[in-house]
Amino acid sequence: MIKPLQKPIHEINKLSMSSLCFLFICMSLFFDVHAQQRKAPAYPLITHNPNFSIWSMTDQLNESTTKHWTEADHSLLGLISVDGDSYRFLGQEEPHYNVILPTAEEQAYTVRYTESKPERDWNQPSFDAKNWKSGYAPIGDDEKQVKTIWKSADIWVKRDFKVADLQDVNELFLKLNHDDNVEVFLNGNKVYEKTGWTNKFQYIPIDKTNLKVGKNELAIHLRNTAGGRYLDFGLVDKRKESGSKIQVAVQKSVEITATRTVYKFQAGKVDLKLTFTSPLLLNDLALLSRPVSYITYAVKANDGKQHDVKVFMSASSNIAVYKPSQEVSAKNYETDNLSILKVGTVEQPVLQKGADDMRIDWGYFYVAAPKKDNVQQFISPMTMAVDNFRNGTSTSSSSKGIGLALNTVIPFGKVSDQEIERFVALGYDEIYAIQYFKNNLRPWWNNSGKETMENQLTVAASDYPAVMDRCLAFDKEIYSAALKSGGKEYAHLCMLAYRQSIAAHTLVKSPQNELLWLSKENNSGGFINTVDVTYPSAPLYLIYNPELLKGMLNGIFYFSETGRYPHPWAAHDLGTYPLANGQTYGEPMPVEESGNMIILTAAISKVQGDGRYAKQHWKTLTKWVDYLVKDGFDPKTQLCTDDFAGHLARNANLSVKAIVGIACYAQMAEMIGETETAKKYRAIAAEMVPKWMEMADAGDHYALTFDDKNTWSQKYNLIWDKVLGLNLFPQNVYDTEINYYLTKQNRFGIPLDSRKAYTKNDWILWTASFAPTREAFETLIKPVYNHALQTESRVPLNDFYDSNTGIRENFKARSVVGGFYMKLLADKIQH
């Protein structure tokens, strides 16, 4: 952070112009260098589905612990030994703590509490709380998660504990998970205060002099201002680091392609090229659904001499747990060709829960390496893994416990300037991936129930050279296509979006033998198969495999056609991931979801060149289009996909969706030979357009709502009129809107509408795709590109942020960035 100049103005004026120029040049160079170093807000490493998704949240791979997309630690740790000197190139060792005062995750405990405001000195140990209630932690309002129910605005909590000895305490931390505003006192001294909430434990350093031998007391005041309520807390001591400090390898570069993230390091006299490959080729469902990624290590000397080299990879058992306190069981074994490590929870609660901020705690995580490479594998506590490697220990010391490490040592022998390459494969067997209307479904790769993860790993290892070649060729192809369509910055955004969008889905087969490609609405409710998440995601799948888009619609059609969803409009979702047993979102979005389903069915028909899929669901599509004809043109108060903005009546962009949806239905009717029906609905849509133009006309733009000409909004739904060749709206509508948007650009993009500064980058990419010139398109997307490289929100691409500050409003790691491919889709269809 650059501090403001502290000198008085009259002194600043004395500075020479040359000095000021030099200062600004230096500042400019500083920011340019740092901007060039960043390629993404977060870097995809292992990306398969919402459960198996590991990222680096920093530009330097060895600057932070790798994490699940929810930001829980899913540690992958990598060291390279060069002639006995160790360098860390991947991740960081997770800090380790000794428990002083356990949380409820670790051990049951009781507290005293009151929901009535106490006297002013309530936070002092001398305060008599004998009349307060007693209850077990955690405290909150969700009966499934807590032991003591709290539903009022405020709660005051006290907890006594004893400490026998302070001499061995290294660094004292408060371990706290709270929702929401909190004040914490230790022995009467305020040690922490925060406005806001958390959804996981935070470790907050506090002064250990506040602790004393004998009796101690923690006192907490928690205030609820909105949403849920929760409290669990304890104290821990951060352990001292042992042994000599490990050197850090120098990261020279990082590159992100569609299927790979490639790092280059210098570790002393050896260079290391590290490649993470998730082979998500959408036209190969067997490969796409195989939950196996590769980490490739390519090493060579950089000084013309020979060096003894070995690489160490340690994977945390926390990759297989929901909460770090869960006990796991691990084993090390071999097949004919592989050495394998395997870990999973002892409990194995298969499909027992659904939530947004959740990690899988059933099934098994695997690390496998070819036996021919003479690897050594062993299991240890995470706290001992690095020391074991440096000391040459490779014997398993644990098979059951909390916080284990799956360790692999890869010997390279003598390394010269000829590059030597080795790889390990990481996989996850969910056993059962989805519950679909009370039927537990296996992942696609094991539809038969007879396949094994060992065989999947074996095939992955034997196919390694061919898979690498295919991924490299695809990466070049997709980048070239995006570059041609939208330029260098557009191509980079498409590369960032590819794995993220795919990894927010799971592929399964329904009991009706239909393909299901089910999304999780990451960080925005956790809903499964949300239609207005499918809608923005669709362009990527329409280009590379429309059958997957069918898999995003099939469940919604089934929900209506079986009578489980009896309304005349389309459902919002199928449940909360991974439980697809029926809509769990609180209210419908009738025009939004019905329009989405019709438009996307028409898009499938267009790109595949036939209407068979539409004909299969014609009765349902007819019900939905008739709803749009009746209530879609001038929508009543209701939610649309931008539900965070609240309810809105007479929404002009939602009206566009209804008009386009009706015309899409007409287009499909023509394809399946329903000529009279096509004419009827085409006429209805065409008659709505001039009415829309008149009602939304606000002079130099079209309004957000029909009844307020002092408003404006992005009309991103217009894009389908262009892409599908409907030719409903005249060109001057597009020109008028684009010209107006160009006057509304903020640092990181056009706001969603005139109400607030927040925006959605997927909608900006759609809006830009109907710009009349390449120059206007690039102007509109450049701020989105800048956001990816400059935002403070270091998470997998977030699609909802403040267009001035770039700070995330919410939403991360969502599939909607598949919508970045809209320009590529438009060019493919129109040419």
Please state the pTM of the whole predicted model.
0.90
Give the rounded distance of the alpha carbon of 500 from its chain centre.
Answer: 7
DSSP H or E run through 165: none
The residue-averaged pLDDT of 156-179 equals: 95
Question: What is the average pLDDT value for the chain, to the nearest integer?
Answer: 94
Does the pLDDT value for residue 3 go beyond 80? no
- Which candidate, 473, 472, 461, 557, places its Cα nearest to that of 516? 557
In sequence order, which residues have a C-beta less than 8 Å from that of residue 687 and are 6 or more positions away? Answer: none
Rounded Cα gap, residues 434 and 578, in angstroms? 5
Does the pLDDT value for residue 28 go beyond 60? no
pLDDT of residue 243: 66
Rounded Cα gap, residues 661 and 647, in angstroms? 21
The residue-averaged pLDDT of 241-267 equals: 93
Please, which pLDDT band fits residue 15 given cuts at 50, 70 and 90? Answer: very low
The residue-averaged pLDDT of 198-202 equals: 87
Q: Which residues are registered as beta bridge partners of 237? A: 98, 172
The residue-averaged pLDDT of 205-227 equals: 95
User: Which range is least confidently modeled, 18-22, 174-178, 297-301, 554-558?
Assistant: 18-22
pLDDT exceeding 70 applies to what percent of the chain? 95
Does the pLDDT value for residue 2 go beyond 60? no
pLDDT of residue 436: 98
What's the residue count for the chain? 831
Is 641 exposed, middle or buried (CB count within 10 Å of its CB: 0-12, 13-18, 19+)? buried
pLDDT of residue 479: 98
Q: What is the 3-state secondary structure (H, E, C) of 7-40?
A: CCHHHHCCCCHHHHHHHHHHHHHHHHHHHHHCCC
Q: Which two tokens stand for residue 478?
A: 């997709």
Q: Express each pLDDT in 303-339 by its tens digit.
A: 999 999 999 999 999 999 999 989 999 999 999 999 9
DSSP H or E run through 824: helix 822-830
Q: What is the 3-state secondary structure (H, E, C) of 328-373?
A: EEEEEEECCCEEEEEEEECCCCCCCCCCCCCCCCCCEEEEEEEHHH
Does the pLDDT value for residue 21 go beyond 60? no
Q: Express each pLDDT in 435-453 by its tens digit.
A: 999 999 999 999 999 999 9
Distances from the Cα of 244 to the Cαs of 81, 247, 391, 437, in angstroms? 14, 9, 12, 56
User: Which range is least confidently modeled, 141-145, 218-222, 536-540?
Assistant: 141-145
- Which candidate, 405, 273, 290, 292, places its Cα nearest to that of 46? 292
pLDDT of residue 644: 87
Rounded Cα gap, residues 384 and 379, in angstroms? 10
Q: What is the DSSP letter of 232?
A: E
Is 42 exposed, middle or buried (CB count within 10 Å of its CB: 0-12, 13-18, 19+)? buried
Rounded Cα gap, residues 622 and 321, in angstroms? 45
Q: Express each pLDDT in 728-758 by its tens digit.
A: 999 999 999 999 999 999 999 999 999 999 9
Buried b (16+ CB within 10 A) or exposed e, 137-153: bbbbbeeeebbbebeee
Helical spans, DSSP H, in 453-504: 453-462, 464-486, 488-502
Q: What is the DSSP letter of 697?
A: B
Please, which pLDDT band fits residue 16 given cuts at 50, 70 and 90? Answer: very low
Name the amino acid, one letter, at 612. R
The residue-averaged pLDDT of 1-9 equals: 31
The residue-averaged pLDDT of 416-428 equals: 98
DSSP H or E run through 420: strand 420-429
pLDDT of residue 168: 85
Give the rounded distance of the alpha carbon of 342 from its chain centre.
Answer: 25
Greatest CA separation for the chain: 88
